[in-house]
Structures are given as C-alpha cells and as structure tokens.
Amino acid sequence: MTDIWSFLLQTLTASGVAALLLAIKAMFRDKLPPRWQFAAWGVLALTLLLPAGRGGRYVLVNWPVFVEAARSALTGEFGVLTRVAAPVPLPSLAAPRSAADVLYLIYLVGVAALMVRYVASYVRLRLALRQGRPAQAGRVRAVAERYGLPVCPAVEVDGLPTAFVCGVFRPVLALPGGVETDEKVILHELLHLKHMDVLWGLVICFFRCIHWCDPLLWLCADLAGNDLESLCDQRVLERLEGEERRDYGRILLSMADERYARTPGTSSAANGGENVRRRIEAIARFKRYPAGMALVSVCVVLVLAVPLTVGARAETVKESVTWFEPYFGHDTTWLAAARTVYCTTYAGAFDTYAKAVIQESAVYRAMCAPLAEQDGLAQAKDLGWGSWDPGLPLPAVGQSGYEICDLSPLEDGAWEGVLVVALPSEEGYAHRDIRMGMQSVRVEKEGERWVATPQEQFRMISTSNGDLSAFPCAGLPAKVYEAQAGDWILRVQYQTAAHVDSSTHQEDWFQTYTVFDTTPKPHGTFDSARQSSELWAVYTGDQRDKEGYDRIGASVRPMWEGDARPVLEQPARHGSGSSNDGSAWGGKPLSGDRGDEVFLSGGGGSISGDVEDVKYFCPDYYAADLYLNGGPAMGLTLLPVEGGVWVGY
C-alpha cells in the first residue's frame, strides 16, 4: 500500500471477508470445534496478506471500481490505477501534495504509534520479569512430564494476576509470586507454549496495527484472540476429567483481570472479565466432537478459503457499474470500470481494441488504453459508445468482425499485428470491390494491464480477391521470404490471421443463427487462426537465356533460430504437395508460353484451441532446395523481406 487509495482498497476487501466470516461463524457457533473456529480466521489472514485487486480480481464486492470511481470523482484524475503492491504500508519519501497524501501520512503515523506502544508494553513486561525470582521448577516439570509437554524457564513475579508465557524465541513462563499456581493453569500455559500460540497472538497484533482505523477488523482481532484462548481451553479439557473440568472454570473466573489483557508477545489468559465469562460458558458446553466433524470442518474452511482468496474477475464493464453508478455519475463510474476490467492477455488487448474501433467506444478504448491516455478519453462528451473516433475513413461493418494479420512477437515481450476491419462496399454491389481498413497495432504490458497502441493512421484498401471471410486475401499483410539463385528468385508468401472467438447464437421464430458479439473479451486468447502459403519461382534473368530452362522444382520448410537444417522432400517431376509442418514442394515443366512467375505449390489451413505457439505465426526463415533442369539441389535460405503483402497472381 503506497497511498490512501490502495489502503482503502485493501481494508474494504478485508472488511467484506470479515463481515461474511462473522455471519458464518455465528451460524456455526455451536457446530464447529474450537480449533476450526480459530482456523476459519486463517481465511481472513490470507485476504489481509494477499494484495487486493491483483490480476483484476475482486472479493465479494467489486471494490476496485468503487475506489477508482471515488478517486476520480474527488481528485479529477483518470490516468491512475490503484494498485496494492504490498499488503503492508510503504512510506513515501515525497512531501504531501494533496489532501489524500495528508490522510495517508496520518494513517502511517497511526500505524507507527500503535506499533511503538505495543513494543513498549512488551519491553516493560520483559523488564518486570527480569526482576522476578526463579520459580520452583519441580511442579512445572511434573505437569509437563505427565502430559508430554515442553518446558521453558519459569519465574515468579509479585503482583501478577495469572500465569502466562512471554516471548517467542526465548519464552519465559511467568507465575504469580507468593501464591501456589494451580496445575491446570500451568497445563494451560504449557499448551500455549507447545502450539506457539504467542506467535499467533503477534500475527493478530500485527494486523491490528496495520488496520488500526478499521473498527470491523479490530473486532475480528478481538474475536480471534478469544477463539485462540477457547482453543487452548478445549485442549486442556480434553486432558481433564469430571470435577477437574469444573475446577478449571472456577479458576478462570478468578483470573478475570484487565491489567495484562492483549499484551503482545504473551499468552495472558487474563484477557478481560467479559471474555473469561464467555470462555466459562463454552466450558459448560464442552463436548468431545465426533471424528467426522474434522472432515466437515476442513470442508467448511476450504469452501470459504478458495473463493475468498482467489476472488472473481469481471468479464465485462457492464457487470461492474451496477452498484456504484448512482453515487459517482455515469462517465466517472464507466471509466473507473474500464480501468479495472483491464486486459490480462495480449490477445484480449487486441480483441478489446478491435471492438473499440468497431463500436467507436471510448469505454472499450479505456479498457486497453495506456494510462497516459485516460484523461483525454474522459473528455469525450457523453462517454460511451459512438463517442470515440478511431480514425477510420468510414464506419466499420460491425457484424463482419475483424482479423489480426501478420501477428509477431517483439524482443521486449510486446506483440505487433495489423488490425483489419471491413468497411462498407462501394455503390453498386455488382462492382464486387471489397473495402477494408488496416492499422498496425502494438500491444504491450503496462504493469498488470495489456495495452494497445496504434502505430499508424488507418489505411483503406480495396480488393476483389476475397474479404475477411475468405483466406488468403490479396492486399493484406503477409510475410514474404526470398532468396536469389542465379537467374531465379525463390519466394514464399505466408499469410496468417487470428482472432478471439466472438461468435454468439441468436434465435428468432424460424431459425438459430450466428452473429458477431461486439463485447470485448479482455481475458481471451486467440482460439482460432488461419494460415495460407504459396511457393513461387520468379525468373529475373535475360529473356534470351530463358529458353535454356525446361524444368524447375523446389522444396521448402519453415525454420526457427537454432534448428538444424533438415533433409527436404524432393519434388516430383510434375505436381506439388504440402504437409502440416509447413513444408511445401512442387515441380513444373517450363515448356510453352509460361510467364516469369511460376507457381510451384500452395496450401493452408486453420487451427483451433489456444493459439499461443509463436512458431505458427512467424518462421525466422525457410530452408529450401532448388532444382533446375533436373540437376542437383541447390541449398538456399529464404530470408524475410520488409513490407510483405499478399499478391494475388
């Protein structure tokens, strides 16, 4: 936590879990054994230890949207995302510059003051124990041996209301001076020592300091301390019989003293008169729980722990604004939701940006825009759909969807691809020219968010060779690989396209049909992709020498850095072929009136599932063998050519 907003997010998230735990513990008060009543607080401890809002998730209530909306409404800042870097406060070295900074400074002072107070009380207690005299160890050792428990040094101190263990690493058993301590009290303290309950008390004290201004969490800290003592009582009672149990209750009542209640670093059983009376009531209800209750208890705790620690993640912005829009206004709440329902995958960032373009939506753009652009988006009038200009020459045809062509990973972990959307056709459908808008887009990580940044203005192309539903498509980007061998260039053109599946089904009275869902999928993956490749040989020599060639053949295979050169398929005299690994081969006679460009082989296909294999999209180069006039193979390496475009021959 580095500011008041991250603290607010952390403590609100924990408070929601605390409220749920209190309700559930009230329901199961007499159903679960004390050890599981205390274990249930571990769920709250996990929530306090895990940074709230991590991975775009929330627990019970979408507090990230509330905090972001409150921050924007009170400060006018939109280009900020509240992050909880750590579940503990981290001080800032900069001087306070706003009221929020002053509040955070006050909070830090409160944390420090409470910790100093607790440390001082512990130090005073240790000094007081040093003034004590060594206790007679015989009775302590006898109790330990009878019940198989560890022992530690013991001292007697005048004026102590009860016995307790003080310290974690060098524990001391403190006994009241001048009186004989009952063996059942010694048993209680040795059980605290065995189970390291002093350490658990320090954990509770630590969270109490961190969340000193949250009364609900203070209540939970008190109740957790009570449950820890009740658990120790249960362990004592399991070792006693009959009248000894009733005596134990009377002994507790005599120790209802407030002087050392909640002293950090101790196991003081004197945790206040009211709490001691509750423990006596629990002793009156004491029973040995059946073995099957252990399994039930484990299941109850796990059912609570998994959803409360993992949390949920909003899939759409609309899910996030329902509760908060009336309090902070439409624009502020929607922008806050857009910043928190951010893209967690690079494919999700491409999909969200593409749908922001198609819908011209400032909200969708905010989901995948760098934080530096958020203030500008907030200036859009009537923020929402149709309020952002992506720079298309014409409005996109939304139901045609989009494609990401020429998808490539970059060295810094970013990705780049060319977004292609359909544009309205020219007047006169018979003309058949298809118009599309293209734009190179870079997607990279900004903290936990994947953000998309256009690298150019939209370009419009017109093609009669296919559209977004046909593949390959002339005029769209392609990877081109070439190598020169004498009078010939061997060329591979390779086109890919990927998208996040956005198909959804709708029904009317007569049929069910598939439509394109324009709602972004910020956590999506490229679950389908298409590719097409063609192998060509291009004559570049003197036309007078062309008659000297009567047959040509070639074989290629995609390669990646570090691959060993394979043995390539030898092309047949006539015909062509390809395989699933991207290999292609073909041979052609050169007799007759052939042009300078000779098609040798082609193929393509599609894959489904999680398309995360980089190799599918971009080979580093091609290994090739070229055969002329049936002669021996000439080994070539086809390297990528800048600015490749699929050419329809």
pLDDT in tens, 298-324: 666 677 777 777 777 777 777 666 666
pLDDT in tens, 9-57: 999 989 988 998 888 888 877 667 777 788 888 888 888 888 888 777 7
Which sign, positive or negative, has the C-alpha torsion 304, 305, 308, 312? negative
Nearest CA to 420 among 392, 443, 444, 383? 392
Which sign, positive or negative, has the C-alpha torsion 378, 384, 390, 392? negative
pLDDT of residue 570: 83
Q: How far apart are CA 346 and CA 408, in angstroms?
A: 12
Tokens of 614: 């980089």
pLDDT of residue 270: 47
pLDDT band at 276 (very low <50, low <70, confident <90, very high): low
pLDDT of residue 444: 93
Give the pairing type, strands 172-176 and 154-157.
parallel
Tokens of 310: 């993992």
Where do the domains of the chain lie? Answer: 4-51+86-306, 345-463, 479-641
Q: How far apart are CA 35 and CA 588, in angstroms?
A: 82
Tokens of 104: 């955070």
pTM of the model: 0.78
DSSP string, 576-605: EEE-TTS-EEEEEE--SS--SEEEEEEEEE
pLDDT band at 430 (very low <50, low <70, confident <90, very high): very low
pLDDT of residue 288: 53
Rg (alpha carbons) of the chain, rounded to whole number: 36
List, in sequence order, every residue forming a beta bridge with 557; answer none if it has no partner: 623
Whether the predicted pLDDT of 427 surpasses 60: no
Write phi, then psi, for 261 (nearest 5 degrees).
Answer: -60, 135
Residue 595 CA, chain-centre distance (Å), reads 56
Assign 430 to helix, strand or coil: helix
Q: Which residue has the tokens 């047959």?
A: 551
pLDDT of residue 293: 56
Length of the chain: 649
| Average of per-residue pLDDT across 181-204 | 86
What letter would DSSP give residue 571? P
Q: Which of the listed ranges 188-192, 260-264, 379-383 does the model predict with the highest average pLDDT? A: 188-192
Q: How far apart are CA 636 and CA 208, in angstroms?
A: 71
